[in-house]
Amino acid sequence: MAILEVQNIKKNFGKNEVLKGIGFELEKGEVLTIIGSSGSGKTTLLRCLNYLEVPDYGKIVVDGNTVFDSEEKNEYTEANIRNLRLHFGLVFQSFNLFPQYTVLDNIMLAPKLKVKEGIKNKTILPQEKNQELNRIREKALALLEMVGLSDKVDAYPFQLSGGQQQRVAIARALALEPDILCFDEPTSALDPELTVEVLRVIKDLKKTGRTMVIVTHEMEFARNVSDRIIYMRDGVVEASGTPEEIFGNSENAYLQQFLNSGKEF
């Protein structure tokens, strides 16, 4: 069964129809990359998956649970949305770390809030608090090791390179154990040599079976890391398939033009 089913998602901003019925499925452990020129709606799609935008129409099912359905009445309380968001981790182009916190605290912050909420809701007993906090700390340290930053635990974001900050952001997104990790152009703010280290981390995540949705302009990377690629154009899925099918596609003129235009997008 697919871990993610996205059905006929539509989103308008005023009269601007940005998503015109996007649909795709993703199996557990698969990596899907989304390519397409600027303004085609890639970020809006990711934002819809993460409840940063509410779609006007469509359905989103994660692991068999309907997390959004425009045909049903959705209750968007803050707690509800927070819970739904837990299915997805999101890593942005700009790393968005909290500047006032150390690397370790950046990663532990959201899981700590979850424990606090758990105690409030009585799903965690007060006497379990310290044990939970220890678990969160151990997990954060393990994630930092995974992204190669064990020596930066106590550093502040301003003391890190862009590539290091982005790797912290990846660890932070993983700390909440999302089903699906989403990236929105994770390397486009980075110099080429820093890009390499971030892409390496994403490739390592693929090896461990992470399910990922990646918006990228790095075509070589998309070709190497993807199980499937979606080419978006003007709010629709213009083409989709394996990397071989997408890069070998000679039928779709728009896709050809996009691929031939290199990195200008």
Ligand X SMILES: Nc1ncnc2c1ncn2[C@@H]1O[C@H](COP(=O)(O)OP(=O)(O)OP(=O)(O)O)[C@@H](O)[C@H]1O
Residues forming contacts to ligand X in the complex (CB under 6 A) are 13, 16, 18, 36, 38-44
**Partner that binds at residue 94, options Mg ion, ligand X, none, CB closer than 5 to 8 Å by kind:** none
Whose Cβ is closer to ligand X: residue 174's or residue 232's? 232
Interface with Mg ion, residue 43, by CB under 5 A: yes
> For residue 65, what are its two tokens?
């649970």
The span of 39-47, 129-137, 141-149, 242-250 binding Mg ion (CB under 5 A) equals 39-47
Alpha-carbon gap, residue 44 to 53, rounded angstroms = 7
What gap in Å lies between CA 50 and CA 184, rounded to an integer? 12
CA–CA separation, 207 and 209 (whole Å):
5
Q: How far is the CB of 35 from ligand X (least distance, A)?
A: 9
Kindly indicate which of the ranges 42-50, 56-64, 166-174, 254-262 contains the residues binding Mg ion, using the contact rule CB under 5 A: 42-50
Residue 13 partner contact from ligand X, Mg ion, none using kind-dependent CB cut-offs of 5 to 8 Å? ligand X
Residue (41 or 157) nearer to ligand X, CB = 41
Q: State the greatest distance between any 2 C-alpha atoms of the chain, in Å, as a whole number.
A: 63
Nearest residue to Mg ion by CB is: 43
Q: How far apart are CA 57 and CA 6, in angstroms?
A: 11
> If binding means CB under 5 A, how many residues of this protein chain bind Mg ion?
1
C-alpha radius of gyration, the chain, whole number = 19
40 near Mg ion, judged by CB under 5 A: no
3-class SS of residue 233: strand
Alpha carbon distance 65, 88 (integer Å):
13
**48 contact choice in Mg ion, ligand X, none (CB below 5 to 8 Å, kind-dependent):** none
> C-beta of 219: minimal distance to Mg ion in Å?
16
Name every residue whose Cβ is closer than 8 Å to that of residue 34 and which is 6 or more positions away in sequence: 42, 45, 46, 213, 214, 215, 216, 229, 230, 232
Kindly state the smallest distance separating residue 81's Cβ from ligand X, in Å: 17
Q: Shortest gap between Cβ of 192 and ligand X (angstroms)?
A: 19
Applying CB under 5 A, the residues found at the interface with Mg ion are 43
